[in-house]
Amino acid sequence: METMIKAQNIKKSYKMGKTRLDVLRGVNLTIEKGRFVAVVGASGSGKSTLLHILGALDRPNSGSVFYQKQDLAGLRWGKLNHFRNKEVGFVFQFYHLLDELTVLENVMAPAMASTSSLGWFSLRSKTRKKAHQLLDRFGLKERLCHKPYELSGGERQRVAIARALINEPPLLLADEPTGNLDSRTGHGILEALKELHGEGQTIIMVTHDERIASQASRVIRLIDGKVQE
Amino acid sequence: MIKWLLAWRYFFKRPISILAITAVTLCVFIVLVVMTVMNGLVRDFKQKNHDYAGDCIIEADSLVGFGYYEDFIDLLLKQSYIEAVSPVAKGVGLLSGPGGVRNIGIEIHGINPILHSQTTNFGQTLHYQKQTVSDVFRPQYAPGRNGCVVGIDLMGFRKPSDGSYYHPDNPIPLELVVNAFPLNIKGGLQRSLDLVSTKSFYYSDDSHSGLVRVDGAVVYVPLEQGQILCGMDVPIKRISSIHIKFKKGVSGRASVGQVRQLWADYAAQNADKPGGDLFANVHVQSWQENRRSVIAPMEKEQTMMTMLFLMLGVITVFIVFVVLYMIISHKSKDIGILKSIGVSISDIIWMFLLFSVFIALIGALLGSAAGWGFLYKVNDIEDWLYEHYEWQLWNRSVYAIGEIPNKVEMDVLAVIIGSTILACMIGATVPSLQAARKKPVQSLQVNQL
C-alpha cells in the first residue's frame, strides 16, 4: 500500500523548570493511505505531541516526518501553511471552533484561509454548497447560523469534523475526538469517522480509550515515548 | 478573506473595542477642536497683521525717519507690480482727554487716509466712515475741525462685563489733545518749539484692527499734521515708513526683492544729500518680516500645542496597543486554530491591523463628527455659558478675537484622520507580530488549561 506519512526516530522533549521531560524517545511509524489508525497511550504518554508533529503544528527535536515522501522539516512558511490547509484536517478534543463565526463560517474557514479576498467571490458559492453538504451529512443543517457556544459538545465536534473536511484533505488527524463527550455522543462521532474511513479517508486518531481504539483498523500503542504495536 | 471577516467580527463582538473607539474618538475630538481653534487664531492673527501692514514695508529703525521719500514713491508707482503706496509719519506722544486728564502714551501715525486704505485694510477698520474714508479726518459733528482716528481700545468702547465693543449711533463730540516730542534730523528734541508739540484733534472715528497693540496705542492723524507733530516737516520732509501693496498675482517674495533693490539704488544715489545718512537705518521688509516679533510668539505657541498633541497621539498608540494586547491574550486559542487551518502569518498580522484600522476609522469619524458639531456651536455654547454662568472661554478684553475660530479645514481633518489610522496601526503592530509568532500548539494548549 502507498505510504501516506512516515515518522523516523522522532524525539521530543519539554523543559519543565530545570528538568527535561522526554516525551517522545525515538518514534518510528509508517501509515499507509486509506488506513484508520488509533494511537493509544496513557495520559502524558506523548500521543497528542506525536499527532501535532505529524500535522506540522509542532516540530520534533530530532528525527523526520515524511508526508508522501516530502520531509516536513524542509517546508518553508508558505508551504507549511499549504500543508496545514490542504493536506491535513485537524479535529481537536476541545473542538477549537471560532466563537465569532457561525457554524457555516467555521466550516468554510479553511477554504477562506487559502483564498484571497478577490478570489473568494468566485469560490464562495461553491464552498458554501460544500459546507452545506457536509453539515447536512453530520445532521447540522438546522444549525448553520448558530454560534459554536449555542451548540452541544457533540454538535461542536461534528462541526469541527466538517471543518477539517472542507478542503478534502488526504489525511484527517483527530486528537481525542470523543474525549470531551459522553459515551453516546462519542459513539456517534466514532461512527462518523468510521464512515469517512469507509469512503477511503486516511485517519489518525489519538485516544486513551482502548474500546474506541479497537474500532480502528490499526492500533499503535505509545509506551514510554516509543511505539509498540 | 478570513482576515477581513474575523477582523470585522472581533471589532463588533468585543466590548473592549468600544473602549478603544471611545479613546480614539476623544483624542480626535480634542485634537480637531484645539487644532481648528489654534490654527484659526494664528491664521486670523496673521491676516490682521497683513491687513495692518500691507504687503511690503520700507521702515526706518529710528523715530527720526528718512527724507526724500516723495521721489521714491513716484519711482515705486511706476513699477508694474505695485498697486498702491502709503507714506506714514510715526512718532510717540501723549493723549489727553477733556481738561487734560488721563494722559495715555500713544503712537502717532500720520497718514493719507485714501492712500493708506488702498495699501492696507485701514478703511475697513473704521466704524463710522468705512464708506467715506477720504473724510475720515473731518468729524461729522464739526467738519471744519481737525479730526483724528483713535485706536478703539483708547476710546473705552468695551463692555466691562464680556469685553465686547459697543458704539454710539454717531461719533461723540470729543476734543483730544495730542502732545508729541518732535525730533530733529539728528535725533534730538527740536528746540525751535517748546520741546513738546501740542495739537488738538476732534475724535471723528475709531479704528478696530483686531491687534491689541495697535488698537490700544495708535492715533491716526493727517500725514502733514503727523509730520508737524513729530518734527518731520522741517527742514526736509520726513516719514517713518512706506507701506506698499502689490498687484494681485505677483510673487510677494520676488516683489519685495525688487523693491529692496530699488531702494538700495535710490539710497546710494541720495546718500550724499543732507540727511542722507538716515537711509542707513531704513530696511525693506515683507509684512511677515516686519511683523515677525508679534507673530513669532503665536507661532511658537502653535508649535507647542502641536507637540502636546503629538503626545496625545502617543497615548492613542499606547491605548490601541493595550487593547490589542488584551484581545490577543484572550484570543490565543483563535490564533492557534487559525494556524492549524493554514492561515498565514501575514494574514494574522493583517487581521489585527485591520481590526486597528476599523477602530481608527470609526473613532476618527465619530471624533470628527463630534468635533465638527462642537465647533459649529462653540460660539453659541460660549454665549450660553456667559449668559447663564458669566463664564467666558476667551475674554474679549484680553484676546483680540470677535468670535472663536471654528472653521474646520479639510486638510487638517485629513491629516488628523490619517494620523489616527497610522497611530492605531503602529499601536497594533507589536501585538500583531506577537500574535503571528505564537506557536500553534502553545496557543491551543494554553487555552485548555
Q: Which of A100, A114, A116 sits opposite B342 (nearest CB)?
A: A114
> Does B316 lie in the same domain as B232?
no
Q: Which of A184, A179, A183, A188 is nearest to A208 (CA)?
A: A179
Question: What type of residue is A213?
Answer: A
* CB of A94 less than 8 A from some CB of B: yes
The reported pLDDT for the residue numbered B258 is 95
Helices (H), A83-180: 103-113, 117-137, 153-165
B275 and B369 co-located in one domain: no
A109 touches chain B (CB under 8 A): yes
**What does the pLDDT read at residue A89?**
93
pLDDT at B397: 60
* A82 touching chain B per CB within 8 A: yes
B80 with B166, same domain? yes
Domain-terminating residue out of B265, B294, B323: B294
Chain A, residues 6-45, CB within 8 A of chain B, namely none
Within a 13 Å sphere around the CA of B101, how many CA atoms are in the beta-carbon half? Answer: 2
User: For A112, which of B5, B10, B339 is closest by C-beta distance?
Assistant: B5
Quick one: pLDDT at residue A153? 87
CB contact at 8 A, B370 and B25? yes
- Please tell me the distance from the alpha carbon of residue B425 to that of residue B347, in angstroms, as a whole number: 15
Q: What mean pLDDT do residues A132-142 have?
A: 88
Give the pLDDT mean for A207-225: 88
Distance from CA of B334 to the nearest CA of A (A): 6
Number of domains in chain A: 1
**Which pLDDT does position B1 carry in this prediction?**
78
* B446 neighbourhood in chain A, CB within 8 Å: none
Pair B354, B256 in one domain: no
Parent domain of A50: 3-228
Same-domain check for residues B147 and B261: yes
Instruction: Note the pLDDT of residue B112.
Output: 96
User: What per-residue confidence (pLDDT) applies to B403?
Assistant: 78
Q: How many domains are contained in chain B?
A: 2
pTM score: 0.74
pLDDT tens-digit map of B156-194: 777 766 667 888 888 889 899 998 888 777 767 766 556
Residue A211: is its pLDDT beyond 90?
no
Do residues B89 and B67 both lie within one domain?
yes
Please check whether residues B17 and B131 belong to one and the same domain: no
Helix-strand-coil split of chain A, %, nearest 5: 40, 30, 30
CA angle B319, B322, B325 (to 5 degrees): 145
Identify all chain B residues contacting A100, using CB atoms and an 8 Å cutoff: 6, 9-10, 13, 334
- Nearest Cα of chain B lies from the Cα of A33 at a distance, in angstroms, of 21
Residues of B in contact with A119 (CB under 8 A): 1
**Residue of chain A minimizing CA distance to B4:** A117
Residue of B nearest to A124 (CA): B1
- C-alpha to C-alpha distances, B98 to B151, B177, B204, B375, nearest whole angstrom: 17, 8, 15, 45
Candidates B394, B98, B72, B93; CA nearest to B221 is: B93
User: How does residue A62 score in pLDDT terms, banded at 50, 70 and 90?
Assistant: very high
**Which residues of chain B are at the A interface, by a Cβ-Cβ cutoff of 8 Å?**
1-2, 4-6, 9-10, 13, 333-334, 336-345, 347, 439-441, 444, 447-448
Residue of A111, A121, A124, A53 whose CA lies nearest to A85 = A111
Which residues on A lie below 8 Å from B439 (Cβ)? 58
Report the gap between the CA of B360 and the closest CA in chain A (Å).
21
CA triplet A142, A146, A152: central angle to 5 degrees? 85
- Domain end position, chosen among B246, B265, B294: B294
Q: Do A98 and B342 touch (CB under 8 A)?
A: no
Taking CA–CA distances from A180, the nearest residue in chain B reads: B448
Do B441 and A77 make contact, defined as CB atoms within 8 angstroms?
no
B134 and B115 fall within a common domain: yes
Find the DSSP H helices in B129-219. Answer: 152-155, 212-215
Query: What CATH number did the domain enclosing A176 receive?
Result: 3.40.50.300
Tens-digit pLDDT profile for residues B178-187? 988 887 777 6
Contact flag B9-A163 (C-beta cutoff 8 Å): no
Instruction: Give Cα B381 distance to the centre of its chain.
Output: 23
- In which domain, by residue range, is B23 found? 2-46+295-448
Asked if A163 and B6 come within 8 Å (Cβ–Cβ), the reply is no
Are B16 and B131 in a shared domain? no
In the predicted model, residues of chain B with pLDDT beneath 70 are 99-101, 160-163, 187, 190-195, 395-402, 445-449
pLDDT at B448: 40
- What distance separates the 2 farthest-apart alpha carbons in chain A? 54
Complex confidence, ipTM? 0.90
Give yes or no: residues B307 and B274 share one domain: no
Q: Give the gap in angstroms from C-alpha A16 to the nearest C-alpha of chain B.
A: 14
Q: Is residue B14 domain-shared with residue B123, that is, in the same domain? A: no
Looking at per-residue pLDDT, the higher value among A102 and B447 belongs to A102
Record: contact B337-A97, CB cut-off 8 A: yes
